[in-house]
């Protein structure tokens, strides 16, 4: 039996847009990227948005911006895409894998048990379109003064 998951919704509109962009000659940072950044920022209610080449790059940048460095620990889900752990190792830090629940999102009790003096951030992935309990994690991070890195590559459209 085949159970399709995370099948992308791409149709003629997306194909047309890609077609037009290819024919425009702008195959690097061009007007379409700027338009996308503006539209995305407006959609998520942010002042700015920066488009990058892929999710791994975005996460790597997020680790740098959050000041994560060698010797630090970052708690992340034990079941996710490899980019989740890779971005932590790229800055010399150690991924600490926490359990996930039935919705594949981080188990808050297991996360709490893994927090120690080296913990610098929690990398919260909204897995496969299912939003994690951001309020609960935000409360821990506020208390401990941690960074919370919300990975929304699979779920950026939901509202909190
Ligand atoms: C949780 C998650 N993050 C990121 C990605 C994609 O990462 P990248 O754009 O760096 O290939 C995937 C792809 O399946 C994913 O499942």
Look at residue 144 in the predicted model and tell me its pLDDT. 74
Look at residue 157 in the predicted model and tell me its pLDDT. 47
Parent domain of 94: 55-151
Q: Which residue has the tokens 């919260």?
A: 124
Written as tens digits, the pLDDT of the chain (160 aa) is: 887 777 788 999 999 999 999 999 998 889 999 999 999 999 888 899 999 999 899 899 989 988 999 999 999 999 999 999 999 999 999 999 999 999 889 999 999 999 999 998 888 888 887 888 888 888 887 777 766 655 555 544 444 3
Rounded distance between C-alpha atoms, residue 98 and residue 120, angstroms:
15
Residue 77 placed within a domain? yes
State if residue 81 touches ligand 1 by the CB under 6 angstroms criterion: yes
Domain total for the chain? 1
Q: Which of 123, 150, 153, 156 to mutate to test the pocket of ligand 1 (most atoms within 8 A of CB)?
A: 153
CATH number at residue 140: 3.40.640.10
CA of 152 to the centre of ligand 1 (A): 10
DSSP for 41-79, please give it.
HHHHT-S-----SSHHHHHHHHHHHTT--TT-EEEEESS
Tell me if 87 sits within 8 A of 63, measured CB to CB: yes
Q: Which atom of ligand 1 is nearest to the CA of 54?
A: 9
The 10s digit of each residue's pLDDT in 138-160 is 888 777 776 665 555 554 444 43
Atom 2 of ligand 1: nearest residue by CA position: 81
């Amino acid at each position: 039996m085949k159970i399709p998951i995370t099948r992308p919704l791409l149709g003629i509109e997306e194909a047309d847009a890609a077609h037009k962009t290819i024919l425009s000659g702008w195959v690097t940072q061009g007007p379409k990227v700027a338009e996308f950044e503006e539209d995305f920022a407006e959609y998520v209610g942010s002042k700015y948005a920066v488009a990058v080449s892929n999710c791994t790059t975005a996460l790597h940048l997020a680790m740098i911006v959050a000041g994560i460095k060698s010797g630090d620990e970052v708690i992340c889900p034990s079941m996710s895409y490899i980019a989740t752990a890779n971005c932590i190792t790229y800055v010399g830090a150690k991924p600490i894998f926490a359990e996930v629940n039935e919705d594949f999102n981080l188990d808050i009790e297991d996360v709490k048990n893994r927090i120690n003096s080296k913990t610098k951030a929690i990398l919260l992935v909204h897995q496969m379109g299912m939003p994690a309990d951001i309020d609960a994690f935000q409360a821990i991070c506020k208390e401990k003064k941690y960074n919370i890195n919300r990975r929304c590559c699979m779920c950026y459209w939901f509202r909190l």
